[in-house]
Amino acid sequence: MLGVFIGVAALIAMVAVEQGANEAVLKQIESLGTNLFVVVPGATAFGGARAGFGSASTLTTADVNAIRRETMGVGSVSYLIRQSGQIQYMNRNWTTNIQGVSANYPPITNWRILDGRGISGDDERSTALVAVLGQSAARQLFDPDQSPIGATIQVKSTPLRVIGLLAPKGQTAYGQDQDDVIMVPFTSAERKILGVAALSQSQTPLNWVYPPSPNPYNLQSRLTGFVNQIYIQASSQGDLSDAVEQVNHILTRRHNIRPGQPNDFSVRNLSQIAETAEGSSRTMAVLLAAVASISLLVGGIGIMNILLVSVTERTREIGLRMAIGARRIHVLLQFLAEAVFLSVSGGLAGILTGVAFPLALPPLFGWPALISLSAVLGGLAFSAAVGIFFGYYPARKAARLNPIEALRYE
């Protein structure tokens, strides 16, 4: 009985803890982007040398609008342009990652505001000269006890007012500091700060009969409407593959890419994170099942031993019952009922303990303990099955006793 109690309690408690912890982990993983995929521009080619993905300017805000308009199963679409550049405040300066982002980019990529406010749609529509600082960039410009909110900083010689401070995100798996960043509205970055510079190398063929137009001041042309990356969030993990296929189809059609030609864009997703989470969950489930099975096995052996002792002690009683007309099936059912009663009693006590224990976990560990009805019913069914399985041998031994020899037993 004690073994069944421990086994059922362990089964229900560990299933509840595993499900709660698994849900908490999945929420954290989803915040990293299991339903998020990224579209990056294609590669440039000059003189037979091809650069990597992202070296060309092939994605536009018109592509973003087409994706929003034509795709199904897409929750949100954001975009950005970025460059490395100098930021300055009073006598301090720092080279950081400058990002011109759409208003919905921070929530999609799980950026939170620690102080102040984030970039709004009004900031983007009005080309506001405002900025949101990352933790590392803020530490380089301001003292630890100094709030950057409201300060005016220089970003590539353009004055911007700091309106928010991002919560820390830490390093990536490759050691890159994600907090070394400053975000500005996309339109402000495009028109007043960064722009999208044309390729630095001339693409004019050597045998071109017309010379290039004169550029005495070496001015770099700026293009508007181009983006470096498009972030697309599917409505759910199940819609991810369909959304990726639709985006591929839309961009292939819009960019006039013929069959057999390479794409001038690349779509990347984070499905490996979801697969890893599912594999970890399956491994944990197998481990819990093994632990609960061992506990139930020990409990069943304990019940069998108790009944074997009971058969020995009640041998004369069994012989007397059989002598006055009880059949073997009656004796068999009697001991099976006792075995099931012992096992189910332990199972019920285990269910109560297994349900009560996880309820104390949320304040301690911070994740929900989800009580599984299937685990409760399964624990009760398993406890009855253990009683029948391990109680059958002692019950069969009692039913096969010879009544005459049983009455002679001392």
- Report pLDDT digits (tens) over 252-295: 999 888 888 888 888 877 655 556 656 666 676 677 667 767 76
Structure confidence at residue 345 (pLDDT): 76
Give dist(CA 1, CA 247) in Å, integer. Answer: 60
Percent of the chain with pLDDT over 90: 26
- Report pLDDT digits (tens) over 44-86: 444 444 444 444 567 888 999 999 998 887 888 999 998 999 9
Give the HSE-up count for residue 205: Cα atoms under 13 Å, Cβ half-sphere. 4
Please state at what angle helix 2-32 crosses helix 373-399, rounded to 10 degrees: 160
pLDDT at 118 over 50: yes
DSSP lists the bridge partners of residue 228 as none
Give dist(CA 31, CA 198) in Å, integer. Answer: 35
pLDDT at 349 over 90: no
CB 182 within 8 A of CB 158: no
Give dist(CA 106, CA 119) in Å, integer. Answer: 9
> The dihedral of CA 291, 297, 302, 306: what is its sign?
positive
- Report pLDDT digits (tens) over 179-235: 999 999 999 998 889 865 444 344 444 444 455 556 665 555 555 678 989 998 888
Structure confidence at residue 165 (pLDDT): 96
The reply to whether the predicted model has a pTM over 0.95 is: no
By CB atoms closer than 10 A (0-12, 13-18, 19+), residue 240 is buried
What is the residue-averaged pLDDT of the chain?
76
Which residues make Cβ contacts (< 8 Å) with residue 254, sequence separation at least 6? 62, 63, 66
Give dist(CA 286, CA 253) in Å, integer. Answer: 47
pLDDT at 26 over 70: no
Structure confidence at residue 197 (pLDDT): 44
Which of the pair, 182 or 339, is modelled with greater confidence? 182
Give dist(CA 229, CA 60) in Å, integer. Answer: 9
Q: Helix, strand or coil for residue 88? A: strand
